[in-house]
Structure 1
Amino acid sequence: FSIYIKIANSVPRVVLGSVFIIALGLGMASKVALAVVMVFFVVFANAFQGVREADRAMIANAQILGASPMQITRSVIIPSAMSWILASLHVSFGFALVGAVVGEFLGAKQGMGLLISTAQGAFNANGVFAAMIILAVMALVVEFLITRFENYVVKWRPAPFNEQGT
């Protein structure tokens, strides 16, 4: 199973953008497909590693206490993997944004990638920088929201060292 993931992960994403545009057209579907492919491998690898690093003693204790496989998954394995999954969300959002913009850059009827491509073709540096600033602000806002979501989901985790006021 992992060999197929490694093979699929080795394919350059920009090439897949062209394939998705040919297969799915210039609409939203090709952009979403490219963004999903950009994100999938990061999230999958981190979630897989998080599940692998679940505390075996806690799993054994839950089994001894009579927990079903679903209860073990929900109460032990997913919380153990949650830090890995949430960390991958921080990284993968940037990849999703890049995937969407590259998809629009390669071929789209609208979007920031088309704006950048058009501005670049017209040697309009102000247009390119304006689009970059808009994308950066959007990325910062979403990163803030992901952090808020992370803090809400993992309340049990102690605060990072620099936020404790020391």
Structure 2
Amino acid sequence: MTGGLSKPVLRLLQVTLLVAILVVWWWASLNRNIAFFFGQPIEVAKVIWAWFVTDGGVYRHLWITLSETVLAFVIGTVGGLAFGLWLGLSRSASALLEPYVTAANSMPRVILAPIFGMWFGLGIWSKVALAVTLVFFIVFFNVYRGVREVSPTLLDNARMLGATQRQLLRHVYIPSATSWVFSSLHTSVGLAFVGAVVGEYLGSAAGVGYLILQAEGTLDVNTVFAGIVVLTIFALLLDGLVSLAERRLLVWQPGPGLADKT
């Protein structure tokens, strides 16, 4: 049960809401002025159909955007995890680097896109670098907090039982940080897409962001919305994979049913 509703009923309501939104969009788009700014759902569907079925021209662009997103997601997650564990465990390093980490996180990182373009060129790596800067700090701060909030009593008990630092890392610190990591990964998926697409906007010859930019240049709002829909669908698919991994790896956590009963 979810909020007093069974899953089939909840799914039915969600689908009904989506259909209602599409119907309102279609009805509003009958007005030519509204259609100019918001497009027409039928025309958007035609663009997507042409992309994937009729000419298949989107696959190369989609592959590039997904490659940039996945690479940034993996690199940013691994880097944030490693750096977060290190600073979380090292009080002296944390005290030394804290102002610099805070300053780097406060920087509007989109302004780094031209610099990455100069360093890495207009290929995928400049987009990956920009997206990594967005993903890294989300993961880092969650891991750092997860390590710092480990119960001192739990650590003392483990040390009394003879646990080494490596065993503490494996059996106490990492499990504590893992739940924090997965809470950040759902946000990181969207940020990885943002970094990739913004990078494509600022300088690229391929990618879904490039297609959207070209459509904006010709005031083709239907193609713009088609690109947004495609990116949203694939972002949801990646988020679903993260949720699947979360359920597999965090099997020790109580399920929703147990949480509701307590």
Shorter-chain TM-score: which interval?
Answer: over 0.9
- Distance in 1 (alpha carbons) for counterparts of 2:256 and 2:204: 42
Q: How does 1:21-60 map to 2 (within 5 A)?
A: 21-60=117-156
SS at match of 1:38: helix
C-alpha displacement of 1:76: 0.5
Find the counterpart in structure 1 of residue 163 from structure 2.
Answer: 67
- Paired residues, what number? 165
Do residues 4 (structure 1) and 100 (structure 2) align? Answer: yes
Structure 1 segments (4+ residues) deviating >2 Å: 160-165
Q: 2:205 aligns with which of 98, 104, 109?
A: 109
- Residue of structure 2 equivalent to 1:155: 251
**CA offset at residue 105 of structure 1?**
0.8
Hey, what's the Cα distance between the residues in 1 that align with 2:114 and 2:208?
17
1:75 CA drift (Å): 0.2
Q: Deviations over 1:1-55 (max 9, x none)?
A: 1111111112212101121112211001101101100111111001000101112
The two structures have a TM-score, normalised by structure 2, of 0.61
- In 1, Cα distance between the equivalents of 2:255 and 2:207? 38
Structure 2 Cα separation of the partners of residues 81 and 152 of structure 1: 16
SS in 1 for 2:135: helix
Larger mean Cα displacement after TM superposition, 8-17 or 130-139:
8-17
Residue 98 of structure 1 aligns to a residue whose secondary structure is helix
In the alignment, the residues of structure 1 paired with residue 256 and residue 202 of structure 2 have an alpha-carbon distance, to the nearest angstrom, of 41
The CA RMSD measured in Å over matched residues stands at 1.6
In the TM superposition, residue 155 of structure 1 has moved relative to its aligned partner by 0.1
TM-score (norm 1): 0.95
Seq. identity, %:
46
Give unpaired runs (5+ residues) of structure 1: none
Deviation at 1:113, TM superposition (A): 1.1
Q: How far apart, in 2, do the equivalents of 1:5 and 1:89 lie?
A: 20
1:101–1:113 contact (8 Å) kept in structure 2: yes
* Alpha-carbon distance in 1 for matches of 2:257, 2:251: 15
- Does 1:141 pair with 2:258? no
Deviation at 1:164, TM superposition (A): 7.0
Name the CA distance, whole Å, in 2 between partners of 1:135 and 1:160: 30
